[in-house]
Each structure stands twice: as structure tokens, then as C-alpha cells.
């Protein structure tokens, strides 16, 4: 299974007046982590648009569990992986570590989408390419 890790330093603009990370900032970090994970696996946004005719990978569901807060200047590690893949949707899990401690678990469900051949002004789900499945799930 492909796992991507990246270290992130908490910035001043990530924090609320109490000097803890304002929770929506984590969802932005998770979105970035998913994009970076795809790129690290060899599938940049430009690549998936060109090679597979996709428009993007929009999120259709998200949630998180918060255990330990982070503050300005802290370093966190975001560990991201695709847990499961269906025809066009897939589930991503992000684990945020502060040192060795699990600070947050984030969950996303995303869908691969392309243009609808019957109506190019509309989007339509697209099947998950086999080579991407093999890379992320280690099949």
C-alpha cells in the first residue's frame, strides 16, 4: 500500500486567537496532502488530466477526529493513504502526528470525474485507472 508522509509547520495564519489551529485549516491541509500524495505516486494533476481525460478528484464526504491541538510553530507529520477504491470513488485517510502522538484522523471520500461524452458541459464519474489502483493499493 502506498503511504505518503509530509512534514508541515503550523503557520500564524493557521491559528485562531487562542493560538490553536482553526479546524478548517486542517481540511485545507488534507486537500493539499491528497494532491501531493497523487503527485508522489507519479500522477500529477496535469498527468491525470492529460493521460486519463479527467477533470479532477472532487471531495464528496469528509470528516475528522481531533485528539491533540497544534499551535503556531509546531511541526506535524501528515501521513496519507488510499484505504479503498471502488469503481470511481475512493477513500483517503490522513493521520496527523505531533511527534509520535496521533493528533488527528481525517477521512475523505473522493470521486474521479471527467466530461460527460453525451454533454461536455456536464461532469461524469470516471473509472479508477488500473495502474493507479495498483500503485496505491499495491496490487
CA–centroid distance for 112 within its chain = 13
Active site positions, annotated: 16
Residue in 1, 67, 70, 60 with CA at minimum distance from that of residue 29: 70
Amino acid at each position: 500500500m502506498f503511504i505518503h508522509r509530509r512534514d508541515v509547520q503550523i503557520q500564524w495564519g493557521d491559528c485562531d486567537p487562542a493560538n490553536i489551529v482553526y479546524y478548517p485549516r486542517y481540511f485545507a491541509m488534507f486537500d493539499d496532502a491528497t494532491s501531493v500524495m497523487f503527485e508522489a505516486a507519479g500522477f500529477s494533476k496535469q498527468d491525470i488530466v492529460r493521460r486519463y481525460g479527467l477533470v479532477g478528484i472532487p471531495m464528496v464526504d469528509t470528516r475528522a477526529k481531533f485528539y491533540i491541538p497544534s499551535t503556531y510553530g509546531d511541526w506535524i507529520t501528515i501521513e496519507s493513504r488510499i484505504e479503498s477504491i471502488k469503481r470511481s470513488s475512493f477513500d483517503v485517510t490522513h493521520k496527523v502526528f505531533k511527534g509520535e502522538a496521533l493528533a488527528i484522523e481525517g477521512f475523505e471520500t473522493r470521486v474521479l470525474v471527467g466530461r460527460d461524452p453525451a454533454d461536455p458541459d456536464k461532469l461524469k464519474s470516471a473509472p479508477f485507472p488500473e495502474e493507479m489502483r495498483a500503485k496505491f493499493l499495491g496490487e
